[in-house]
Amino acid sequence: MTQGAVFPGRLPCRFEPAPLGRYIRAMTQTLPIHIIGGGMAGSEAAWQAAEAGARVTLHEMRPVRRTEAHQTDGLAELVCSNSFRSDDHETNAVGLLHEEMRRANSLIMAMGDVNQVPAGGALAVDREAFSRAVTAKLEAHPNIEIRREEIAGLPPEDWDNVIVATGPLTSPALAEAVHGLTGEGELAFFDAIAPIIFADSIDMGVAWKQSRYDKGETEEDRAAYINCPMDREQYHAFVEALLAGDKTVFRDWEKDTPYFEACLPIEVMAERGIETLRHGPMKPRGLTNAHKPDEKPYAVVQLRQDNTHGTLFNMVGFQTKLKYGAQTDIFRMIPGLENAQFARLGGIHRNTFLNSPKLLDPVMRLKARPSLRFAGQITGVEGYVESAAMGLLAGRFAAAERLGQPVKPPPPTTALGALLMHITTGHVPGRKGAFQPMNVNFGLFPDMQGPSKGPNGERLRGAAKAQAKKRVMSARALADCDAWLGRVQAAAE
């Protein structure tokens, strides 16, 4: 026998395992990782695990069982906005997350890049083409089997490596089973969907194309949004109509469920004050009316391109719980949308998330049953990219565990690591309700001292100083991410 053999995950040992042990271990490594849910997180987890060399069985319940929000049977379907938000990796945390995921061979980012549509400084995609591309990649991967079936309740006990990526619309049976296993009731919030309009029904004699502050590298990007202007009288009439419009009535058991603050229904924002929308999604800053350049709009409604052909546009920030009839009447009050035809009206749905810091360990396993990992929105991250990022980590962790390799979380100085820390330690002990869903932001990162002077020796203050600090934090994050991924070592070799 060979001296000094090392078993992965254990201290050095003086002897190799017996032949039977080697056989059992080899057989174990050929067992599949079961991933429940084919949304953004589940799709990314399946890709990462399969690319690492593990076998994957991906369970997606659509079309066997449909949800209140999905429209198709495609994997990684985008049910709300088609935007992955800012793609600026130097001064924006979500743009930094984009870049880290690209470096980690993310399927979601790769297909997003291939199927993007003009969106100024943001990354937005043709939602149908994106979903088709993700589905095709996963169906073609030799290590992935896709099963169209619902997994009701907890998975079988003999599934020893499972990722639950069922998203915000987790089935009641599974949510109740987790509650029974942990004694911790699931948490929830309401999320809303914005309407989508046919481009040829928009009056471009009133509306005009322009990105805010003319952002974008190309002329197409600088004209990526359609803008509908309002004067003061039109704006006030619109807000009054929002407040008076018929809205979805919640059932008794839903009435105490909060909204996610980063995705409030437009009429809920209006309830917070007459000027709230004008300083939020309807702010006129950075825009000049091409038809009346000398008249500053009092408020502006922006529409973002939703597909490659430019035939569909999403109402930016106009997620709503208005009833369908009220939506068509009220939104046609917007100048330029008097004859708008809607490809999809807005809606609202209940999202479920776990009290993850209490229930999950540092590598996203359920403490009460370590064979189960959770990923995506159900863990308490918010946003497409954040959900996919947690799928990326869960897939890598599960594959390393299956293949007998070390499980290495990313450093907390990275966007991936900062999000992981949020869902595993991001709570205030003893404070009820302290853990809430979160988008990635620089407040989640370990702090560091930013530069006090600019490249020309000038003293930095205010916004300039904050931007300089973000650049330094982003540079640190990418360097640490490369080290975690082994890119530095690979480059040296």
Three-state secondary structure readout of the chain: CCCCCCCCCCCCCCCCCCHHHHHHHHHHHHCCEEEECCCHHHHHHHHHHHHCCCCEEEEECCCCCCCCCCCCCCCCCCCCCCEEEECCCCCCHHHHHHHHHHHCCCHHHHHHHHCEECCCCEEEECHHHHHHHHHHHHHHCCCEEEEECCCCCCCCCCCCCEEECCCCCCCHHHHHHHHHHHCCCCEEEEEEECCEEEHHHCCCCCCEECCHHHCCCCHHHHCCEEEEEECHHHHHHHHHHHHHCCECCCCHHHCCCCECHHHCCHHHHHCCCCCCHHHCCCCCCCCCCCCCCCCCCCEEEEEEECCCCCCEEEECCCCECECHHHHHHHHCCCCCCCCCCEEECCEEEEEEECCHHHHECCCCEECCEEEEEECCHHHCECCHHHHHHHHHHHHHHHHHHHCCCCCCCCCCCCHHHHHHHHHHHCCCCCCCCCCCCECCCHHHCCCCCCCCECCCCCECCHHHHHHHHHHHHHHHHHHHHHHHHCHHHHHHC
8 Å CB contact between 475 and 415: no
The more confidently predicted of residues 377 and 192 is 377
Alpha-carbon distance of 120 to 86, in angstroms, equals 9
pLDDT at 262 over 80: no
How would you class 159 by CB atoms within 10 Å of its CB: exposed for 0-12, middle for 13-18, buried for 19 or more? Answer: middle
Give the torsion through C-alpha atoms of 41, 44, 47, 48, to 10 deg.
-100
Least confident of 57-71, 283-297, 405-419: 57-71
pLDDT at 394 over 60: yes
Hey, what amino acid is at 203? D
Quick: pLDDT tens for 270-286: 999 999 999 999 999 99
Alpha-carbon distance of 247 to 268, in angstroms, equals 10
Percent of the chain with pLDDT over 90: 54
Q: How confident is the model at residue 426 (pLDDT cuts 50, 70, 90)?
A: low
Quick: pLDDT tens for 450-464: 888 888 888 988 888
8 Å CB contact between 43 and 134: yes
Q: How confident is the model at residue 188 (pLDDT cuts 50, 70, 90)?
A: low
Q: How confident is the model at residue 261 (pLDDT cuts 50, 70, 90)?
A: low
Looking up tokens 């975690």 gives 484
Percent of the chain with pLDDT over 70: 82
Residues in CB range of 63: below 8 A, 6 or more apart:
73, 148
Q: What angle do CA 377, 383, 385 make, to 5 degrees?
A: 100
8 Å CB contact between 90 and 186: no
pLDDT at 111 over 60: yes
Report the residue count for the chain. 493
8 Å CB contact between 74 and 132: yes
pLDDT at 493 over 60: no
CB atoms within 10 A of CB 485: 19
8 Å CB contact between 42 and 60: yes
Alpha-carbon distance of 421 to 424, in angstroms, equals 5
Selection from 12-21, 194-203, 220-229, 293-302 with the highest mean pLDDT: 293-302
pLDDT at 255 over 70: no
Quick: pLDDT tens for 365-377: 999 999 999 999 8
Mean pLDDT of the chain: 85
Q: What is the pTM of this model?
A: 0.70
Per-residue model confidence (pLDDT) at position 345: 85
